[in-house]
């Protein structure tokens, strides 16, 4: 389908990394979860540990799902690869970058 334009679009993104300083946007996709139909976006410091990210941001959000079990076993993915984040690792050490999507699937 052809697009007719009245001009070029030459505007910087309003969500580019440089606007967030030491923070970044991190998307978390609760895969195979009927309660959350799309990924959630969190603003988090690059130096935030996984334990703080999990307990401070993800758990309070995920508790909206009445079936959420914070102790359930999960598979985490980043860039299509399985990761096993440790509570003491920072998001940066894990390899999370601005606007990345972390996938999470609960094991049966």
- What pLDDT does residue 89 have? 98
Distance, in Å, from the CA atom of 98 to the CA atom of 58, rounded to the nearest integer, reads 17
Report yes or no on 57 lying in a domain: yes
- What pLDDT does residue 65 have? 95
Backbone φ and ψ for 94, nearest 5 degrees, come out as -70, -25
CA end-to-end span of the chain: 44
CATH number at residue 97: 3.10.20.560
Report yes or no on 4 lying in a domain: no
- What pLDDT does residue 30 have? 96
Report yes or no on 45 lying in a domain: yes
Distance, in Å, from the CA atom of 75 to the CA atom of 103, rounded to the nearest integer, reads 8
Report yes or no on 29 lying in a domain: yes
H runs (alpha helix) in 1-108: 50-53, 59-62, 91-94
- What pLDDT does residue 35 have? 93
Report yes or no on 3 lying in a domain: no
- The number of distinct structural domains making up the chain is 1
Which two tokens mark 81?
């690869």
Report yes or no on 31 lying in a domain: yes
Domain that holds residue 69: 19-106
Distance, in Å, from the CA atom of 75 to the CA atom of 68, rounded to the nearest integer, reads 15
pTM of the model: 0.88
Q: What is the mean pLDDT of each run of 10 residues along the chain (108 residues)?
A: 83 94 97 94 98 98 95 96 98 98 94
């Amino acid at each position: 389908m052809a697009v007719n334009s009245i001009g070029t679009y030459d505007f910087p993104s309003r969500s580019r990394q440089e606007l967030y300083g030491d923070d970044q946007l991190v998307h978390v996709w609760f895969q195979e979860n009927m309660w959350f139909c799309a990924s959630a976006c969190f603003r988090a410091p690059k130096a935030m540990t996984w334990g703080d990210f999990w307990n401070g941001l993800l758990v309070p959000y995920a508790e909206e799902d009445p079936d959420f079990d914070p102790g359930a076993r999960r598979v985490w993915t980043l860039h299509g690869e399985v990761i096993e984040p440790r509570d003491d690792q920072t998001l940066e050490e894990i390899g999370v970058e601005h606007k990345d999507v972390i996938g999470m699937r609960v094991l049966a």
